[in-house]
Structure 1
Amino acid sequence: MVSGIHGYLSVVICFFGVLTNIFNITVLMAKDMRTATNYLLTFIAVSDILTMLPYIPYVINFYCPFTHPEETPWKYTYGWVLYMVIMVHLLATTHTISIWLAVTLAAFRFCQIRSPCPSGPLAKDRRITQVKIASLVIYLASILVLIPNYAYTEIEQAWVPESNSTVYTIKEQELATPRTEYAVFINILTYAIVAKIVPCVLILIFSGSLLYHMGIKAARRRQRLCANRQQANTTRMLLVVLILFILTELPQGIVMLLSATVPDFSNNVHFPLGDLIDFISLLNNAINFILYCLMSQQFRKKFFNIYIKPVCDRRGHVATSNSELLILREQVPRTMTMTTHDDNVRV
C-alpha cells in the first residue's frame, strides 16, 4: 500500500521542493540578505535540490506505478539500475552534507548568541568567508568519507522465466549474519554513526545550549531594540529547522545500527519502512521554505518583493493599459455618432 502511493506523493514533494528551494536560494542570496547564516541555509538548499532532482526520474520509473521486476522487466534494465546505484550514493552524500551543514549552522548560531560578534562590513565579510570555507570542507569531506560505500555496491542480473528476459538489481547486503562481509559491516556502521547519529547528537547539544542561553537572556531581550527581537525570531526559526533534522535523521541512524547488528532486523523492519523513511527525508528537504515564510518576516517581505510584487505591478499595468484602451474605443464611436447626427440635421 505504501509503495503504491509512495511514487506519486514523492513526485509532488520533489517538484515542490526543487521549486521552493530555488526560491530559498534567490531570496537568501539577494544583495541585502547575504549573511553568514543565510549562506549556510543556501548551501543546505543546494544540497536539498541535489537530493530531490535526481530522485524524480528514479521514482517515476520504479514507483509510478510500483511493480516487481518479473512484472515489468523493462524497468529493470542495466541502465536504470546503474542510475539507481548512482542516485543512492548521491542521496547518501547529499544527506551527509545537509546534516553536517546543519551542525555548522547550530554551532555558528550558538557562538553568535553566546558571544556576539563585532558588527561592521569587515566582520560580516569575515564570517561569510569562514562559512564558505566550512561548507566547502563539508562537501569534500562527505564525498571522501563515503568513497568505501560507493565501492561496495554491486549490480547483479537475474533471469525471469515469466517474461523470458533478464533483469538487473542491486545486490542485497546480508546484514547481521555470519555471511556479512566485514567491509560492508564497517561501511554501514560508519555511515550510521558519522552521517546520522553523531551530527544529530551535536545538533541536539548546540540546540539545547541555544535554548538555555535564550532562556536566561529572555528578560534582557524584551528590553532590546527591534533588530535584536528579529535576531531572536531568526534563532527560533533555525531551532525548528534543526529539530526537524534530528527527528528525521536520528531514527534513521538508529535503524541502520540495529540493521547491522540485530539478526533479521533489516528484512523485518528496515526494508518495509524504506519507502516511508525516504518520503520523510524528502519532506524534510522540501519544508524549509514554508518554515521561512511562517517564521521570518524579513524572508516574507523579500520573497514578496522578488516574486509577487513584479507580477502584481505587471498585471496592474496591463489592467491600466486595457482600461485606457477601452476608454479610447468608447470615445471614438461616440464622436462618430455625434458627427453623423449633426450631418443629418444639416441635411
Structure 2
Amino acid sequence: MRSPTNAILVAMALTDMFTGLFPVPVFIYFYATDRFHEWVPYDWCLVLDFFSEYIPTIFHTASIWLTMALAIQRYIYVCHSFKARTLCTIQNVRNGTIAIYIVATLSQMSRFFESYPVETIRISSLNPNVTVSACLMEYRPWVKWNTNLYFNFYYWFRVIFIHLIPCVSLVVMNALLIYAMRVAQQRRMQLLRQNKKSESRKLKESNCTTLMLVAVVGLFLLVEFPLGMLMVFLIIAKTFEVTIIRTDVLSVLSLFSNFFILLSYPLNFFIYCGMSKQFRETFKRLFTGADMPVEREYSQYMTLPTENGKSTAVTGDETAL
C-alpha cells in the first residue's frame, strides 16, 4: 500500500499516537494514585511540563499541518491531476513531513527555556505533620521583562497559524473536493453511457478515496475547531481583559475538547476499515498469513479523465475501495 497519500496517513497516525503517548507516564504517576492531591515533587517539575504540555503540543501541531498537507495533496490529485506525478511523490511527502516536524518543534522551542524549577519545602497536603520537597516554576529574566508581549505573540501565533489558517484551509479544501466529486460523478455517468466501463470504474475508485479523506478531514475539523475557539476566548480575555467565558468553565471545556481530540485519533482506523477495501484486505492478510497477490490487485498507476476529455496517469493513491 505504499503511496504518497498512505505515507501521509502513516505520518499522521504516528504523530497522533505520540501526542497521546508522551503524557502517559505523568498521568500514571499522578492520577493513578493520590499524588495529584500532593504538591508536585521537585524532580517531576520539568518532566510534568515537558511530557504533559510541550512535547504533546509539538506532535499535535505537526498533526494539524499534516492533515492540511493531506487535503492539499488530494486537491492536487483531483483538480490538477496533470501536476500530481511531479508534485505528489513519496520523496516530496518525506521531505514535507520532515519540514513539518522541524517547524512544529521550532514553534514550541521557546517553551522549553521560558522557566526553570526552584525547590521549595511545603507542608504536605495529605499529611499536615509532614513536609515535602515541592517546586515553583520561575520565569527567566527575558520572559519577566516582556511577559505580556511574549505570551501574546505565542498564543496569537498558535491561534492564527496552528488553528485558524489550517481549519479555514481545510473547510475550503473539503468544499472543493466535494464539488469535484459531484463533477466526477456526472463524468462517470457519461462514461457509463459511452460504455467506457474501465475508466468509469477508475473514476469511482478515485471518488471513494477522496470521500474517505474528506471523512478524515471532517472528523478532524469536528474536534479541532472547538479547541481553536477556546484559544481565541482565552487570548481575548488575557489581551483585552474581556471575559467571554469564566476561567473555570474555560478550563473544563478545554479538558473535554482535548479529550475528544484524543478520542478521535483511533477513529481514523475505523474510517479506513469501513471505507477502504484495499486497507481491509491488506490488514486481514497481516493476521491470516495469506500470501500477497503475485500481481497487484490495485494498479500503481491509473488514468483519471479530466474536464477536457484527456487523461493522465497518477501514482498509486487512487486505490480501490
1:268/1:72 Cα in 2 relative to 1: closer, same or farther (>3 Å)?
A: closer
Identity among equivalent positions (%) equals 25
Determine if contact 1:148/1:187 at 8 Å carries over to the other structure: no
Matches of 1:81 and 1:72, distance apart in 2: 13
Q: Secondary structure at 2:135's aligned position in 1?
A: strand
1:176 paired residue number: none
1:82 Cα shift? 1.5
Alignment of 1:300-339 (within 5 A): 300-307=280-287, 309-310=288-289
Q: Which blocks of at least 5 consecutive residues in structure 1 are unaligned?
A: 1-32, 173-178, 312-347
For the pair 1:146 / 2:125, whether they are aligned, the reply is: no
1:206/1:160 Cα in 2 relative to 1: closer, same or farther (>3 Å)?
A: same
Greater Rg by CA: 1
1:205 paired residue number: 172
**Which whole-Å deviations, capped at 9, do the CAs of 1:196-223 have from their partners, x for residues lacking one?**
1211111111111101111122122343
- Number of matched residues? 265
For the pair 1:56 / 2:56, whether they are aligned, the reply is: no
1:225/1:93 Cα in 2 relative to 1: closer, same or farther (>3 Å)?
A: same
1:170/1:229 Cα in 2 relative to 1: closer, same or farther (>3 Å)?
A: farther
Deviates more, 1:222-231 or 1:275-284: 222-231
* TM-score, length basis structure 1: 0.69
Matches of 2:266 and 2:44, distance apart in 1: 25
Matches of 1:142 and 1:99, distance apart in 2: 10
2:81 paired residue number: 116
1:184 Cα shift? 1.3
Pick the structure with more helix per residue. Answer: 1
Alignment of 1:130-209 (within 5 A): 130-155=92-117, 159-161=121-123, 162=128, 163-168=130-135, 181-209=148-176
1:48/1:183 Cα in 2 relative to 1: closer, same or farther (>3 Å)?
A: same
For the pair 1:102 / 2:67, whether they are aligned, the reply is: yes
Matches of 1:259 and 1:155, distance apart in 2: 25
1:184/1:244 Cα in 2 relative to 1: closer, same or farther (>3 Å)?
A: same
1:236 paired residue number: 211
**Which whole-Å deviations, capped at 9, do the CAs of 1:175-205 have from their partners, x for residues lacking one?**
xxxx962211211111122111211111111
Pick the structure with more strand per residue. Answer: 2
Determine if contact 1:36/1:124 at 8 Å carries over to the other structure: no
RMSD of aligned residue pairs (Cα, Å): 2.6
1:218 paired residue number: 185
Determine if contact 1:35/1:124 at 8 Å carries over to the other structure: no
1:227 Cα shift? 3.0
1:275 paired residue number: 255
1:85 paired residue number: 49
Matches of 1:202 and 1:157, distance apart in 2: 46
Matches of 2:58 and 2:186, distance apart in 1: 42
Matches of 1:157 and 1:266, distance apart in 2: 32
Q: Secondary structure at 1:273's aligned position in 2?
A: helix
Aligned amino acid, residue 146 of structure 1: Q
Determine if contact 1:237/1:292 at 8 Å carries over to the other structure: yes
1:124/1:45 Cα in 2 relative to 1: closer, same or farther (>3 Å)?
A: farther
1:267 Cα shift? 2.2
1:269/1:150 Cα in 2 relative to 1: closer, same or farther (>3 Å)?
A: farther
**Which whole-Å deviations, capped at 9, do the CAs of 1:272-322 have from their partners, x for residues lacking one?**
223212211211222211111111111000000012x129xxxxxxxxxxx
2:3 paired residue number: 35
Determine if contact 1:113/1:210 at 8 Å carries over to the other structure: yes
